[in-house]
Amino acid sequence: MNTTTEEDDNNRYIELQLMSLDFARDGETYTLKNMIEAGISVDLADEKGNTLLMLASYNGNIECTKMLLSHDAQVNKRNDRGQTPLGGVAFKGYLELVILLIEHGAEVNADNGGGRTPLMFSAMFGHKNIVEYLVYKGADIQSQTFFGMSALQMAKITGGIRVLFGKSNNKVQ
């Protein structure tokens, strides 16, 4: 095999990997499934460490996320910033994906960088249904970030407390 052929093969494989990452982002489940079954790693990650599972779930692609989990994608694999798929979907507010990831072993109290947990992300952005579910599943409401704040304190600061507890005014006790 000559060098040009090897380089061409490597370039094609890189192109397939990039396509796979786009398919995860876009929810192209069928095509991505075929690529994984043909040999693309289910835990393939982009240059920032975002895996196929992270990209699919963060973009709200439920069927694609289910397919990746059925092919044993690492549910707690972190990107280069220490973020998990669960942290991403808690931030975005996707309850169905939060439930799915936890059912597949996602760490409820995973540090997503700086001591921030999925509970803190959901509290900060007022995703009450996710907060309730994470607490039900054992999320530590008193755990603190490196700033020394709990999820409840973060919600107070960001205004998320009004959504979490039905407050309509700006006063927080």
Q: Give how many domains the chain has, as a whole number.
A: 2
Q: Are residues 69 and 108 in the same domain?
A: no
Task: Answer yes or no: is 89 within a domain.
Answer: no
Q: Are residues 44 and 111 in the same domain?
A: no
Q: CB-based contacts of 20: which residues, under 8 Å, 6+ apart?
A: 32, 35, 36, 40, 44, 52
Q: Are residues 70 and 2 in the same domain?
A: yes
Q: Are residues 67 and 108 in the same domain?
A: no
Q: Are residues 45 and 107 in the same domain?
A: no
For 69-134, the DSSP string reads HHTT--TT---TTS--HHHHHHHHT-HHHHHHHHHTT--TT---STT--HHHHHHHTT-HHHHHHH
Q: CB-based contacts of 13: which residues, under 8 Å, 6+ apart?
A: none
Q: Are residues 46 and 103 in the same domain?
A: no
Q: Are residues 70 and 122 in the same domain?
A: no
Q: Over its length of 173 residues, how does the chain's per-residue pLDDT go in tens digits?
A: 566 788 888 889 899 999 999 999 999 999 999 999 999 999 999 999 999 999 999 999 999 999 999 999 999 999 999 999 999 999 999 999 999 999 999 999 999 988 889 998 998 888 989 998 999 999 988 776 656 777 767 666 665 555 555 544 333 33
pLDDT of residue 145: 66
The CATH number that applies at residue 125 is 1.25.40.20
Q: Are residues 117 and 54 in the same domain?
A: no
**Residue written as tokens 């939060």?**
98
Q: Are residues 12 and 70 in the same domain?
A: yes
CA distance between the termini of the chain: 72
pLDDT of residue 8: 85
Q: Are residues 12 and 56 in the same domain?
A: yes
Domain extent, residue 113, equals 98-165
Neighbours of 6 (CB within 10 A): 10
Task: Answer yes or no: is 171 within a domain.
Answer: no
